[in-house]
Amino acid sequence: MAAGSILMWGRFDPDYSRNRVVRQALAALGWRVTDFRPRWPPAGDLEAVLRRVPRPDLVWVPCFRHRDLAAAARWCRRKQVPLVFDPLISQWDKQVFERGKLAEHGAAARRLKAREGRLYRRASLVVADTSEHLHLFAEAFQVPEERLRVVYVGAEAGGFQVHPQGEWAPGRPIHVLFYGSFIGLQGPGWIVEAARRYQGPPVTWHLLGAGPLLAECRARAAGLDNVRFEPWLPYRDLPARIARADVLLGVFGTTAKAGRVIPNKVFQALACGKPVVTRKSAAYPEALADGAEHGVRWVAPGDPDALAAAVARLAAAPERLPEIGRAARATFDRYFSESVIQGQVAEALRAARGGPGGHGGAVAAPSPVP
């Protein structure tokens, strides 16, 4: 029996991994999910009325769809339907601290921050992908903590799974893989610099993907025969590509945002049972910093020497890579598995609907514009 009906509201990408993981969790919990994709987001509530969109038990606005939130909130308020927003990123944080397009204390940044806060506070519940983002939403946007919950990004069920660690043949270089969109948060330049400074057993550094920093990384890698660049490949082929690697790299950026995220690639690598090297971050469960073998090697952000040294230590004991990979998969199963995410989604829905009784959480009226 279905738990109820959820309307996914917005011009979102249904194939984006975050949205797919959420939908898988909702389906596993017994929710019936339908989509409403307004032609013009600012007037989506009027379109919903004209199209006679049936009243669901809850509306969920997926990640990145800040433009859809105001209209969804108006419609939900009229229909007395709880509203969940899953922003994944903050527009203010991105424009000010990641892209540097707005001065932190400038008028434009203040207006963007205030507008984003008003939007978030109109939802019954806001979902954050990590505890660090939850704290940001509470502190920067004054969202009450009782209206915030964490749902990890995770890795898709059936796609990313254990791939047996290949036997290492003496003399074969250790295969280190980074994949991503070559943005500052990921710190691909630090990876290239680590490869330049690397001293240890033979290693090949593979950087897969494309993005704004790719050309710079190629230039910095000039003359390095241990660095190889690869183009994007279809998403469905990514698990098999991960399987070919011995060690996976996460992110190494130095911004505050880089310290608030657990990137897709880390979840996916752990799910595939691969050792991971990534930057230290309070976004991860505290238990992963206890010194035990969790399959993850932490390094300071923006520190190519630390990254090179961490890879060298792994490469110096290749016979241990299968054991470390099994620990990585155990970490995924314990902290980030499908069942963990289903539990987080279920808790978010209970909170949005007003608790165990599920009688519906309030959708706040719009705040006056200052």
Amino acid 86: pLDDT? 98
Fold of 4-154: Rossmann fold (3.40.50)
The fraction of the chain above a pLDDT of 90, given in percent, is: 86
- Letter for the amino acid at 36? F
Euclidean distance between CA atoms 5 and 187, whole angstroms = 41
Query: For 257-283, what is each residue's pLDDT tens digit?
Result: 999 999 999 999 999 999 999 999 999
48: tokens are: 């919903």
Distances (CA, A) of 190 to 249, 308, 309, 321: 11, 10, 13, 23
Assign 225 a pLDDT band (cuts: 50, 70, 90).
very high
Distances (CA, A) of 60 to 13, 132, 254: 14, 22, 32
Amino acid 355: pLDDT? 54
Q: Is the pLDDT of residue 222 over 70?
A: yes
The reply to whether CATH 3.40.50.2000 applies to domain 174-336 is: yes
Assign 228 a pLDDT band (cuts: 50, 70, 90).
very high
**Could you tell me which residues are beta bridge partners of residue 40?**
none
Q: Which residue from 90, 61, 89, 86 is spatially nearest to 75, judged by alpha carbons? A: 61
202: tokens are: 């033979």
Amino acid 171: pLDDT? 74
Mean pLDDT of 68-97: 96
Q: Is the pLDDT of residue 45 over 70?
A: yes
Amino acid 97: pLDDT? 87
What is the CA angle 240-267-100, rounded to 5? Answer: 110
Query: For 231-244, what is each residue's pLDDT tens digit?
Result: 999 988 999 999 99
Place of tokens 């919950």: 149
Query: For 86-134, what is each residue's pLDDT tens digit?
Result: 999 999 999 998 888 999 999 999 999 999 999 999 999 999 999 999 9
In this prediction the pTM is 0.91
Amino acid 309: pLDDT? 98
Amino acid 291: pLDDT? 82
Distances (CA, A) of 223 to 110, 148, 207, 314: 45, 49, 16, 24
Residues of the chain with CATH 3.40.50.2000: 4-154, 174-336
165: tokens are: 């660690």
Mean pLDDT of the chain, nearest integer? 92
Q: Is the pLDDT of residue 163 over 60?
A: no
